[in-house]
Structure 1
């Protein structure tokens, strides 16, 4: 059985094009660029269709890493899984989380338990008419299983977070589908973000056996009872396929990290955030406890679709000045930041089929002293 060592590094950024922190860690030898497997980031864009901070951040990272890897920027983007989530409203702080992986010879004597492992995979490119529909669900499920195998995680019980970057529709893409005689799930670019996120999340749920595989096109965004407890999906204009990152614990890993998760039932579910922290041996801020250190928290945020939170009305869905996803990120980000003791946490908006309606998964990664 292949044995791997996974590293996790959180790096603050001063803007979407700032790669200085990562380059400094590479220069000091803290990070071997050849071992970088995935980079998740929060950028200070609007998180919408026209949030080009995501593409800008990926381009900057690829350009910076290319000479270090002896590759072209395009080849870097194929080698490393990049997921940039736009929107750092409220106290959320822009940053990237870098995941490295290298193969090692066996486990050290005395090491017990499962440790953090990571695997990546990609789907094929989707024609616009497949977004938000069964083909995207099926292809995502296939990619999730491939990423689990890549991570050395044999079963769903050890999967704690599945991050996906998925495409969205633009007017040109809708027009291209129509020219071939095909209709898209929606003609709205903004609505397509939700369709793509939702179908991708259902693909995770199918792969992990959380729901039956017979999901239909008409179930996407309509069946609130169908969801994954570990899926986190983010739409972007910069790609036409799904990038899948599976995070979990594996006996084949010798990393100094561990991941756990819980599920928020709504946007103010502090108990779930604490449960996620406790699952990796931590409590709420200050985090240091039992020789463990918080590395990062990853969560989904959504404005409750029924218009209320615990019986009280909210206006997130009715505000024409600020989108509901931005409201939700700010609210959930503030809650998690208060419990984590830092605003540099990964909170992504739009939780369609990612946790129960109005809620979403929350995962924590801790560094172990041993």
Structure 2
């Protein structure tokens, strides 16, 4: 039976693969079993954040030394921005085989898409492409019931001046010529693709005009991070499957706003843990977004008014601090920009931990 393994490794820089190399040398990680690596890197998380590409290149080269061309199948999902006290780190998601505690248990599936034409970014073409990839990743994880999916991580592309120019030279129009806004549109379309695949929204409710604008359409299990380092999508589905075995389990909640920890506590309880007993064993995956209203529970925030630092960076730091105080460590995969990923100002949070013996 398949058995999932998740290993968190500290990183001193975007090209620091020494910890992963050591874990492989010790036999703690089997490189041939690695399905995906999520990484938090200390860039700005914006269009020009090359720490993501640097990290992906470094990890890819290291994996290729161990598994050859198969390294290209590993989903390398790098999220830039470790503002506040967030710590750079890698999350290595691995599939093994054997017999362990009977399921249902954590299951991992992945899928890649072809390159997305720039004119489809932020439009229904991207929604459909991501939805198809989510369904394929679910099948790879042996998850038949969409309700058994607890988190879907998508790495999606963005537009650059060169990509916009290439589309326009072919006579095609793009959803935006603002490269920073293209990041949000790409995350938005990807999130709606996840919502469509999981049955959280109906196809008839979706249209180009709703992408990035209709805050009433959202997924409670989507996490999308855009980057300059790819033009396709890398999709990783995390859920519970009776086909998988092992101690690891996953639960999720949806924060209604940036300080709403009650759903996170409920997810801890679903795993048989309490905040006081959570500690370093908990893997945290979360989205963060500054509310469009400019307020949190009726009190004004200034994240949207800062001309020096983007609101996504403020939100990552703020939500990261809230969650770190709850679980007791700072190696949290908190991704900014939560368009259609949870309600306005809130966002999905997934927790992975071994079930108590």
Counterpart position of 1:169: 159
Match of 1:206 in 2: 196
The equivalences for 1:1-370 within 5 A come to 3-71=1-69, 76=71, 78-104=72-98, 107-108=99-100, 111-214=101-204, 215-287=206-278, 294-368=281-355, 370=357
Contact 1:329-1:349 within 8 A present in 2 as well:
yes
Q: Quote how far apart the aligned CAs of 1:67 are.
A: 1.4
Asked whether the 8 Å contact 1:7–1:256 carries over to 2, the reply is no
- Output the CA distance in 1 between the equivalents of 2:216 and 2:355: 36
Shift of 1:122: 1.3
Q: SS in structure 1 opposite 2:21?
A: helix
SS in 2 for 1:70: helix
The 2-side partners of 1:302 and 1:191 are apart by: 15
TM score, norm. by length of structure 1 = 0.94
Contact 1:286 1:341 in 2 (8 A): no
Contact 2:152 2:223 in 1 (8 A): yes
Q: Report Cα offsets for 1:53-75 as digits up to 9, x if no partner.
A: 0000011111112111133xxx5
Q: Distance in 1 between matches of 2:314 and 2:343?
A: 18
- Do 1:298 and 1:364's aligned partners in 2 also have CA atoms closer than 8 Å? yes
Deviation beyond 3 Å, 4+ runs, structure 1: none
Tell me by how many angstroms 1:272 deviates. 1.9
Question: 1:308 and 1:96 mapped to 2: Cα distance?
Answer: 33
The separation in 2 between residues aligned to 1:315 and 1:329, in whole angstroms, is 14
**Cα deviation 1:149-187 (Å, max 9, x = unaligned):** 000111111100000000000011111111111111100
Say which is worse superposed, 223-232 or 268-277, in terms of deviation.
268-277
CA distance in 1 between counterparts of 2:26 and 2:265 reads: 35
CA contact (8 A) 2:272 2:355 kept: no
Is the 1:10–1:295 contact (alpha carbons within 8 Å) kept by the matching residues of 2? Answer: no
More helix by share: 2
CA distance in 1, matches of 2:270, 2:243: 20
Contact 2:155 2:227 in 1 (8 A): yes
Q: Which runs of 5+ in 1 are unaligned?
A: none
Cα drift, residue 113 of structure 1? 4.2
Do the aligned residues in 2 keep the contact of 1:232 with 1:351 (CA within 8 Å)?
A: yes
Q: Distance in 1 between matches of 2:45 and 2:198?
A: 28
How far apart, CA to CA, are the structure 1 residues paired with 2:40 and 2:272?
26
Q: Secondary structure at the match of 2:172?
A: coil
SS at match of 2:303: coil
Distance in 1 (alpha carbons) for counterparts of 2:36 and 2:328: 25
Unaligned runs of 5+ in 2: none
Contact kept, 8 Å, 2:161 with 2:179, in 1: the verdict is yes
State the Cα deviation string for residues 98-140 of structure 1 (Å, max 9, x = none): 0110233xx55xx444100000001221110100000100011
